[in-house]
Amino acid sequence: MTEPTKFRFYGRRHGRPLKPVRQKLLSRLLPEILLALDGPIENYNAVFQNLPRQLWLEIGFGAGEHLATLVDENPDIGFIGCEPFINGVASLLAKVGTLAPLSGPPNLKIYPDDARLLLPLLPPAALDRVYAMFPDPWPKARHNRRRLIGNETMDEFARLLRPGGEFRMASDHMDYIRWTLWHFQQHPAFEWQAEGAMDWRERYPDSGSTRYETKALSKGASCVYLTFRRLA
């Protein structure tokens, strides 16, 4: 049996101490919507009570603004959110759940760890959409290999997205944008969906904003929104 790939994690898992309410959300609500895996997922009947029409994945949802909007506006879509920063997980829980009564959205599962550990456990052609909204750009050249998008993950994204599915990535870091375009254009399974400049200058019409995006725009930064389609 092949040993699972081991990754070195870069980044933060904890920030400032959580307020009592958010700590309660983590201890009481998170177990209700946690995607707990001890092996590969063979089908989603065991993950969602009602089989969703599609399955979307957001990698690194930060404080959860974008994912919370998607979950609320698309009740027939199943969502998996990956975020290893526990303060971000608590922030998302505060947006989508309640303690009294204990309740969370039935179409959301949270994987509070590195997405690279999750991807190999998902079945082929399982995803209809993947979001990477303002991922860490790791701007120093010696840290570029830490970026989410790279040779190893490109093959996983190709395996997981069904034909016609989309990978959406947004960033205000132009070197990371160039890096992403190069990797996707080099991969035979993907095609960049852009016919004109407005296709990558404007936020996706069915998506909300993120805290990082709002901050970047307030400082006059230019944000780029890329969409790549999985070819048949």
Report DSSP state, residue 34: B
Rounded mean pLDDT, 67-95: 96
Catalytic residue, chosen from 114, 136, 172, 175, is 136
Nearby residues of 45 by Cβ (< 8 Å), 6 or more positions away: 51
Report DSSP state, residue 61: -
Q: Tell me, what's the pLDDT at 106?
A: 93
User: Comparing 6 with 220, which gets the higher pLDDT?
Assistant: 220
% of the chain at pLDDT higher than 90: 72
**Domain 20-230 superfamily per CATH:** Vaccinia Virus protein VP39 (3.40.50.150)
pLDDT at 28 over 50: yes
- Which of 200, 191, 144 lies closest to 172, judged by CA? 200
Q: Tell me, what's the pLDDT at 3?
A: 41
How do the domains of the chain map onto residue ranges? 20-230
pLDDT at 211 over 50: yes
User: Comparing 20 with 18, which gets the higher pLDDT?
Assistant: 20
Q: How far apart are CA 132 and CA 183, in angstroms?
A: 15
44 pLDDT tier (thresholds 50, 70, 90)? confident
11 pLDDT tier (thresholds 50, 70, 90)? low
Token duo for residue 92: 């998302």
Q: Tell me, what's the pLDDT at 2?
A: 39
151 pLDDT tier (thresholds 50, 70, 90)? confident
pTM greater than 0.75: yes
Q: What is the DSSP string of 75-131?
A: TTEEEEEE---HHHHHHHHHHH-EETTEE--TTEEEE-S-HHHHGGGSPTT-EEEEE
Q: Tell me, what's the pLDDT at 4?
A: 46
Q: Tell me, what's the pLDDT at 47?
A: 84
Say if residues 133 and 68 touch (Cβ distance below 8 Å).
no
pLDDT at 17 over 90: no
Report DSSP state, residue 225: E
Whether 72 sits among the annotated catalytic residues: the reply is no
User: Comparing 16 with 122, which gets the higher pLDDT?
Assistant: 122
Token duo for residue 196: 């004109």
